[in-house]
Amino acid sequence: MLSSDDKLAEADQAYSGDEDALNELERRQRKSSSRNSTSESFSESGDVAGDPHSPKGKVNTNDRKSRTGKGRGLPKKGGAGGKGVWGAAGMVYEDEEPDVRDPNYDESAQGDTVYATVVPEVDERELEKMVNPIVQEYFEHGDTKEVQMLLKELNLGPHKYEFSSLAVSLALEGKASHRELTSRLLSDLSGKLLSQSDIARAFDKMLKELTDLILDTPDAPQMLGQFIARAIADHILPMSFLDCYKGKVDCEHARVALDRAAVLLTMNREIVRLDNVWGVGGGQRPVKHLIKEMNLLLKEYLTSGDVSEAERCLRDLEVPHFHHELVYEAVVMVLESKGDTASYMMIKLLQSFWKIGLITVDQMNRGFQRVYNELPEINLDVPHAHSIMETFVDLCYQESVITKQLRDACPSRGRKRFVSEGDGGVIKN
């Protein structure tokens, strides 16, 4: 049990602790009230209290907040100003394209992705290597649409006009049929891939390069003039193209080309197109015309005996699929001729064409087989046609012009020929 004195001592101690706490609370309240009074005095008077160089006493004069304590607390510009705000009420926003560089950009959410193929522009040094195979193949198939498709896959860029000059240069070194195909190609590409200015620029370049072209093609000026005339007649060159060069050409070869074009246009003023400026290609000639040409070729050969000239004439016709007609006409001439001269000359001609591959096995067989089939009708005009045919076929086989199978297929008169009546039935070879 605590005595009364001890209880009084505990009460005094508790009272002293409470008094200290009250004193500490009063001290804090006085400190806070002094700060508020200083702030109010500063806001009212606008003077800086204390040391102006002190961080606590320095006030930011660029602070845009109201220092008067007044204001309604509303956003600036009605919410339409500042970064990252929604804008004023009632504002209508337009659709914005998604930014690929945005970190939140989702490629899969944009729908189907279309990848564009970028074709690099053809370098001027590589242009000839890429164009020449296209033109050479065109000389074989003659399909202008395929050339147009291949050119669309190439990005010729500013060198597009050079395709015309390269094609014409190759045609100058080729055959007449190649030049005809080139004129048709330029006509078909005009307005699609080539403009009149492109073609005019190409011919202008070739007129300047005629000095080099005649080294490989001596007739280049005349043929280039024919190309120009055909292009003007086909309306892929303007009629004023020739007028631009009057009195302005110093090169003699260029003057020859321009004069040739002017003469052709004057001669064919009433003709819309100069379709026959290069002649008619072999595959486009009528069959009767080809037969007439081959007959004339063989008659000239029987007169001159020049095998090389006959070969050149046959190649110029450009009808390798129709060479069986030459074989047929040659054999018929032998059957209708008198004496053995024509027979030996025709064997020499066919043997020469056979060795150089100008007449193939198929063409040779077709030519002889046609004669075999028509031999009964030929025999009406030539009574000894069968015997002449057998002799000629044997000589051709001996000179390796025809095969053994073709020789054995030669028709006879319908009876076997024996050496004599008493030879025991031996058949004459």
- Average per-residue pLDDT in the chain? 78
Topology alike, domains 124-267 and 285-408 = yes
Whole-prediction pTM value? 0.50
pLDDT at res. 155: 80
CB 381 within 8 A of CB 419: no
pLDDT at res. 192: 87
pLDDT at res. 130: 87
Residue ranges per structural domain of the chain: 124-267, 285-408
Residue ranges in the chain modelled with pLDDT below 50: 2, 15, 41-50, 270-272, 415-418, 425, 429
pLDDT at res. 118: 74
Choose which CATH entry (1.25.40.180, 1.20.120.550, 1.20.120.160, 3.40.50.720) describes domain 285-408: 1.25.40.180
**Residues in contact with 282: Cβ distance below 8 Å, sequence separation at least 6, in sequence order:** 177, 290, 317, 318, 319, 322
pLDDT at res. 396: 92
CB 161 within 8 A of CB 199: yes
Structure tokens at 232: 């003007």
124-267 CATH fold? 1.25.40
